[in-house]
Amino acid sequence: MGHSISEVDLKYFEILKAKLNEDVIWNVSYYSELEKQAHKETLLQLGINDNNIIQIKITDLKRQS
């Protein structure tokens, strides 16, 4: 599912976290190193375990046909 991790979306992520299994893996894409760090900090503040966060540079994602 594609979403931004901005302030407007935080309530949505709080609901997702509350309803999902604690061991779920969060795959998060980013454009820049600054955005990468900001996303990680936001997810950690939501209480998501660091070991459950996978960060992928957007240019490394491949379009599936």
**Would the pTM of this model clear 0.85, i.e. be above it?**
no
For 28, the token pair is 């998060």
What is the mean predicted confidence (pLDDT) over 28-57?
Answer: 95
Q: Give the pLDDT confidence score for residue 10 in this predicted structure.
A: 87
- Give residue for tokens 């980013």: 30
Encode pLDDT of 11-42 as tens digits. 998 999 999 999 999 999 999 999 999 999 99
